[in-house]
Structure 1
């Protein structure tokens, strides 16, 4: 299958590498010039749980992408989604399937401006990766993936996409309620990403804090209150146990989450407004108290100002 990874950062590079290794025709599309140049000159350097490879995968800047793929996988940062879709309009063929695997909430409304509903698939993944520099990605631990079609008539197509991922050892399943899974993943990110970024620690270190149980449950409770307004029922204790399962070093415990990678490690703006900030915004709209998420959002924006300005 011809697959374009749109947003070939840490996670995009991981998926691109694994899909390439499974025999698919993969192209990496990313706006970071040095990253694209390094991949084309040296190959994508992958550290796959200690096994280092240099993999020849073509990479291109968005404005230079010309080949229409069978499948586009979106891995951009949330704030860059619409500008990226505008840049790649030329490769959005009438039969091109588009799978969104972005962190955060509310992305389907943006994608619908550019892609017919029958070609939109939403997904959520718990795989992790770290970008160590231009053209260099580090893979660790395991993960899984859920996918669902937007158009009810495209269920079989969604299952075929799952098969492609499973051939690449990405552990995909077809979901009957991916919206619930997206909200649960947003809770994990809302509890872990921002906390690790504020405290400058990895997931295992955060989990060892005596304050961690109270912090994550307070954040998740606010997510649950807002999700309820969208008809999504979140069990606070169940989601808290999911968050706590990530502390295990054999899973994601040694990992620094993506928000930490962006801000602390690379001095880039974060996706906070699409995670904790989304809950803060919707809390105000629905007259729901979201004190924890309000504070976290302001603290991350303050840290952005200190580091980036």
Structure 2
């Protein structure tokens, strides 16, 4: 399969390496020039389960994307959510009539942007539980096991979605076809909407958040807002199960600083808050549902972005 991976960070590099090693034609697109230069000059240097490997793959900026009409069969999206619109504007030359897009980004609402560039029947949605750490330009650490869950957005896409599952499994990505991936997306969004935003505002790791006496109440209030909005979209979240799922991270990955913390506090980059708590705020307004916790978290994160002068 001819695959383009948008975003050559840790996760994009993992998928690119594993799919390339399984015999697929893989191209990378990234916007970080230092990363592009490192991969062009030296390949991707990866420590995969304590084994050092190096994989050379073609990489370009979105603006350098192939203008010859050499379309991708599948585009896998690992850009930052706030870069989605701009990136897809740039990569339109590789989007053909039969090109499918698989969005594996955290958060909700990405399909509204993707519909501007590909037919809805060509959109696949999913989540992944694989992990990856970027140590610097062209350098990643890949450890442990993971999985992918995906589904076509409309019935017409099922045949291709099942083909993607097969391609992923041949690459060792442990994919499965889901009959209700939207539930899983909202469930994972609850994890991000609690841990990411709270740890970023409080400037703490997951374990430190869990040790506060306010943690349980905060989680339950935020999850309740996600559940109220998701129900309007036909997704009924089990709030107790989701709360327990999030709470398990306090001890399971307590030393971890969530990605939003790393983006804003560590690297002074814009966050994806508009596609997490901000998405619940916007949908709440649409459905007439009050979402005060998501409202204030979104506002606080944006205020912190301003204070740190990120753009």
TM-score by length of 2: 0.92
Residue 58 of structure 2 corresponds to residue 55 of structure 1:
no
Residue of structure 2 in register with 1:8 after alignment: 8
**Cα-to-partner distance string for 1:98-144 (whole Å, 9 max, x where unaligned):** 11111211111211111122321111122222222221222344322
Residue of structure 2 in register with 1:197 after alignment: 200
Residue 223 of structure 2 corresponds to residue 220 of structure 1:
yes
Residue 292 of structure 2 corresponds to residue 302 of structure 1:
no
Residue of structure 1 in register with 2:73 after alignment: 70
Residue of structure 2 in register with 1:45 after alignment: 45
1:126–1:176 Cα change, 3 Å = same
1:266–1:173 Cα change, 3 Å = same
TM-score by length of 1: 0.92
**Cα-to-partner distance string for 1:49-79 (whole Å, 9 max, x where unaligned):** 4333322122111121214222110111112
Q: Matched residues in 2 for 1:57 and 1:69: separation?
A: 15
More divergent stretch after superposition (86-95 vs 198-207)? 198-207
Deviation at 1:87, TM superposition (A): 0.2
Q: Matched residues in 2 for 1:207 and 1:55: separation?
A: 39
Deviation at 1:283, TM superposition (A): 2.3
Deviation at 1:254, TM superposition (A): 4.2
Residue of structure 1 in register with 2:36 after alignment: 36
Matches within 5 A, 1:1-309: 1-66=1-66, 67-249=70-252, 252-309=253-310
Q: Matched residues in 2 for 1:232 and 1:286: separation?
A: 14
Q: Matched residues in 1 for 2:258 and 2:141: separation?
A: 13
Which secondary structure state, in structure 2, belongs to the residue aligned with residue 308 of structure 1? coil
Q: Matched residues in 2 for 1:248 and 1:52: separation?
A: 30
More divergent stretch after superposition (88-97 vs 152-161)? 152-161
Which secondary structure state, in structure 2, belongs to the residue aligned with residue 68 of structure 1? coil
Deviation at 1:193, TM superposition (A): 1.2
Q: Matched residues in 2 for 1:229 and 1:90: separation?
A: 36
Deviation at 1:238, TM superposition (A): 0.9
Which secondary structure state, in structure 2, belongs to the residue aligned with residue 270 of structure 1? coil
Structure 1, unpaired ranges of 5+: none
Which secondary structure state, in structure 2, belongs to the residue aligned with residue 146 of structure 1? strand
Q: Matched residues in 1 for 2:251 and 2:173: separation?
A: 20
**Number of residues paired by the alignment?**
307
